[in-house]
Structure 1
Amino acid sequence: MEINYKALGERIRKIRKIEGMTQEYLAEKLEISTQHMSNIENASKKPSLALLMDLAELLGVTLDELLADSYPREREGDILYTETEMILERCSAKERRIAMEMLEALVSSMIRNRGKDEEE
C-alpha cells in the first residue's frame, strides 16, 4: 500500500480550514517553515511519520483520518463511504470523533444482536 500524498495534502488543508487554522499557525506549532507546510499540502514534500503524528494531534484527528484516502476500498461500498464523508465533512473534528464513536457503538450492538431477532 502506498500513501496518496496528494489526497493527504488535500485532507490536511480541508481539516485545517474547517478548524480555522492557517498554514502559518500549524507551521509554527510544528516548528517547520510555512513553505514546508504548503509543500505538504501540495504534495511536493512527504512528511515524516513523526510530523504526521504531530499534525494529526494539532488538527484533532487520528492518523487514520488523515490517511483515509490511502486505504483500499471495496468498489461496491464506495458510494457509502462517499455519502458518509459528505455527512461528516459538515462536522468539526470533535463532532466527527463523537459521530464515529456512536457509529462504532451502534455497529457493535447490531453485531452482538445478530440472530436474536430471528429467535424471537
Structure 2
Amino acid sequence: MELNFKAIGKRIKIARLKTDLTQEIMAEKIGVTPQHVSNIETGNSSVSLTTLIAIANLLKVSVDELICDTVLKTKYVFSKEANEIFRDCNEYEIRVLVEILKAAKYSMRDVKMFEARIKNNE
C-alpha cells in the first residue's frame, strides 16, 4: 500500500490553519525548516514518522486523523469530520445535507449490487 502524501499534507495544513499557526512557527516548534513544512503540506515531500508524531502533538490531533485517507479502518475519524461539518449548520442545511448523504449511500449500494450481479453472471 502506498501512502497518499498529498492527502496527508492537506490534512496537516487544515489542522495547522485551525490552530492559527504559520508554517514558520510550526517548523520552529517541530525542528524542521519552513520549506520542509511547505513540501509536506503540498505532498511534494514524504513525512517521517517522527515528524508526523511531532506535528500531530503540536496540532493536538491524532496521527489517525492525519493519515485516515490511507488507513482502512477510519470510520470514527470520518464520523468526527461529518459531525464537524454539521456543527455550524442550521436546520435547513442539515436536512439538505442528510438527504444528499442518503442519496449517495443508496446510489453506492445500488451500484455495488449491480456490479455483483454482473460478476455472478460472468
Q: TM-score, normalised by structure 1?
A: 0.62
Instruction: Tell me how far apart the structure 1 counterparts of residues 85 and 13 of structure 2 sit (CA, whole Å).
Output: 13
Instruction: Tell me how far apart the structure 2 counterparts of residues 7 and 84 of structure 1 sit (CA, whole Å).
Output: 17
Q: In 2 relative to 1, CA 20–90 (structure 1 residues): closer, same or farther, beyond 3 Å?
A: farther
Q: Deviations over 1:72-108 (max 9, x none)?
A: 37xxx8xxx4x752432588xxxxxxxxxxxxxxxxx
Instruction: Tell me how far apart the structure 2 counterparts of residues 25 and 68 of structure 1 sit (CA, whole Å).
Output: 25
Question: Which residue of the partner structure matches residue 83 of structure 2?
Answer: 87
Question: Which residue of the partner structure matches residue 65 of structure 1?
Answer: 65
- State, as a whole percentage, how many aligned pairs show the same letter: 39
Aligned residue runs from structure 1 range 39-58, under 5 A: 39-58=39-58
Instruction: Tell me how far apart the structure 1 counterparts of residues 67 and 85 of structure 2 sit (CA, whole Å).
Output: 15
Question: Which residue of the partner structure matches residue 23 of structure 2?
Answer: 23
Question: Which residue of the partner structure matches residue 13 of structure 1?
Answer: 13
RMSD: 2.4
Structure 1: give runs of 5+ residues left out of the alignment. 92-120
Structure 2: give runs of 5+ residues left out of the alignment. 88-122
Q: In 2 relative to 1, CA 89–57 (structure 1 residues): closer, same or farther, beyond 3 Å?
A: farther
Question: Which residue of the partner structure matches residue 33 of structure 1?
Answer: 33
Q: Which has the larger radius of gyration?
A: 2
Higher RCO (C-alpha under 8 Å, 6+ residues apart): 1
Q: In 2 relative to 1, CA 51–90 (structure 1 residues): closer, same or farther, beyond 3 Å?
A: farther
